[in-house]
Amino acid sequence: MTERRFPAAAWATAFRGIAWRETLRFVQQRGRFLAALVRPLVWLFIFAAGFRAVLGLSITPPYQTYVLYEVYVTPGLVAMIQLFNGMQSSLSMVYDRETGAMRTLLVSPFPRWFLLGSKLMAGVIVSIIQAYAFLAIAWFWDIRPPAWGYVAVLPALVLSGLMLGALGLFLSSAIRQLENFAGVMNFVIFPMFFASSALYPLWRMQESSPLLHDICAANPFTYAVELIRFALYLEMNWPAFGVVAGCLAVFFGAAVFMYDPAKGLWARRKERG
Amino acid sequence: MDALRITGLSHHFGSTQALDDVSLTVPRGSFTALLGVNGAGKTTLFSLVTRLYSNVSGSIEVAGFDLRRQPAQAMARLGVVFQSRALDADLSVAQNLAYHAALHGIGRRAARARIAQVLAQVGLEERAGDRVSALSGGQQRRAEIARALIHSPDLLLLDEATVGLDVKSRAEVLALTRRLIASGGVSALWATHILDEIQGDDDLVILHKGRVLSSGKTAAIAGPSGLTQTFLSLTGAAA
């Protein structure tokens, strides 16, 4: 029997089980939900309100008119939720590995790519719940994209969430201990967020520093932000879609490689006994 | 057919040889003790059998299924109790078991029935709704065994399952494992460094520095000088 011999219902059951566990853990960690919401809201209510007065924005696609800075920054903050969630998943993987819970997952008879992919998708579902909660609050702050934009943004959130989650998954394979997670904050989350189009349009970057502009243009997070921004305003940004999909394939492939028993992380680990 | 058959298995970490041409069998329905001091290679062996590491030399068959060529079938017949805790302490016992059942593709209704069954087997039916963190060390170990049994495996791998337990809990976990084997349907490979846990009619494999020094019935290996003396003499000679 090969892995293909599992009935479809068994694959669905395994995925549901992994998604259910992630959701259950998320629901039990109310502080995590609040933190995930408060972070972008602080940016929206305080940072964006302050910058509104000093930062002028010209009409740039997908916007048809001049928009307030709060409107501009909202898709970036949605992507920020997914970025933090992806790194949170990475933290959770390292924690699971340290406590031994990871082994329970990896000794399942289902193939490892499927187990990791299911865990990734489960994390994305959680991030999408957070993103919509943020968008709902932002609506009361007069940030109101077209009604269908809330529907159109869903596939963009899935794709960008998968890419950022896959990056987190890959990083989790390289992080040896929970204590090293601070390094991820300093070297991954902050640079990715600030060196992107989440807070300022790329043409603004070009004006102040061409080098910084190039760095932002090479940052996959920029494309996640733009994919979400365009989808929220019922437009498709194909270059952003291509970059996000490509990065997803690369990050997920690297994560599967690192978790392969014959290669990567597990092949290097040595335990006593 | 044996529950587990390992032939010519070797593994190294860099220049360190962790296992060297290991061959052993766990006969169906047996309690096979894998005896070795810390660092003997027991956990490496378990990691290879559970596919946490990949075996590049030798072969591993679980219930007749080759781990490399038929991993899904082999893994479906394997239940594992790891040396370190593998349950989610924030979830209830039943939630942990439901999660593990799902990882084996067992549907919700079947899982509910099976959870009740295995919890009764390990004597934890009253604690199904309790968080794992609320259980004692011995109860957590029994919950781990219930988790390992949820998909009705042919072979239980228990890696130093009594480490950190008090004497009473240790005896309970050991007795439970023996009861499960006696009731039929499952075999066990019990890794330990505690000689008291092994009985004369158990199958025994002595592992030292990654090599099998002796295997067979415990009574036959121990001989008139007893297991402790024999073990010390074998491992001392191999030191």
pLDDT tens-digit map of A56-82: 666 778 887 777 888 999 999 999 999
Q: Considering only alpha carbons, which residue of chain A is nearest residue B14?
A: A268
Mutate to test the interface with A, among B104, B145, B147 (most CBs of A within 10 A): B104
Contact state of A261 with B51 under an 8 Å Cβ cutoff:
yes
Q: What is the mean pLDDT of chain A?
A: 85
Say which of B13, B70, B86 has its CB closest to residue A101: B86
Q: Considering only alpha carbons, which residue of chain B is nearest residue A269?
A: B13
> Which B residues 109-138 touch A at CB under 8 Å?
none
DSSP assignment letter at B160? S
Which pLDDT belongs to residue B237? 60
Q: Is residue B208 less than 8 Å (CB to CB) from chain A?
A: no
Measured between CA atoms, how close is B69 to chain A, in angstroms?
8
Q: Is residue B182 less than 8 Å (CB to CB) from chain A?
A: no
Measured between CA atoms, how close is B50 to chain A, in angstroms?
6
Which ipTM score applies to this complex? 0.84
Q: Considering only alpha carbons, which residue of chain A is nearest residue B210?
A: A273
Q: Is residue B56 less than 8 Å (CB to CB) from chain A?
A: yes
Contact state of A100 with B102 under an 8 Å Cβ cutoff:
no
Q: Is residue B16 less than 8 Å (CB to CB) from chain A?
A: yes
Say which of A25, A101, A267 has its CB closest to residue B54: A267
Say which of A28, A115, A273 has its CB closest to residue B38: A273
Q: Is residue B157 less than 8 Å (CB to CB) from chain A?
A: no
The size of the A-B interface in CB pairs under 8 A is 133
Secondary structure of chain A in the HEC alphabet? CCHHHCCHHHHHHHHHHHHHHHHHHHHHCHHHHHHHHHHHHHHHHHHHHHHHCCCCCCCCCCCCCCCCHHHHHHHHHHHHHHHHHHHHHHHHHHHHHHHCHHHHHHCCCCCHHHHHHHHHHHHHHHHHHHHHHHHHHHHHCCCCCCCCHHHHHHHHHHHHHHHHHHHHHHHHHHCCCHHHHHHHHHHHHHHHHHCCCCCCCHHHHHHHCHHHHHHHHHCHHHHHHHHHHHHHCCCCCHHHHHHHHHHHHHHHHHHHHHCCCCCHHHHHCCCCC
CATH fold for the domain made of B4-77+155-238: Rossmann fold (3.40.50)
Cβ-based contacts of B53 with chain A (< 8 Å): 261-262, 266-267, 269
**Per-residue model confidence as pLDDT tens for chain B (239 residues):** 899 999 999 998 888 899 999 999 999 999 999 999 988 999 899 999 998 888 778 999 999 999 999 999 999 999 999 888 788 888 899 999 999 999 999 999 999 999 999 999 899 999 999 999 999 988 999 999 999 999 999 999 999 988 878 888 889 889 999 999 999 879 999 999 999 999 999 999 999 999 999 999 999 999 899 999 999 999 886 55
Residues of chain B within CATH 3.40.50.300 domain(s) are: 4-77+155-238
Mutate to test the interface with B, among A28, A259, A270 (most CBs of B within 10 A): A270
- Please tell me the pTM assigned to this model: 0.83
Q: Worst-scoring range by mean pLDDT, A50-59, A134-143, B183-192?
A: A50-59
Cβ-based contacts of B100 with chain A (< 8 Å): 104
Contact state of B86 with A111 under an 8 Å Cβ cutoff:
no
Cβ-based contacts of A270 with chain B (< 8 Å): 13, 16, 18, 44
B48 alpha-carbon distance from chain centroid: 13
pLDDT bin (cut points 50, 70, 90) of residue A273 is low
DSSP assignment letter at B166? -
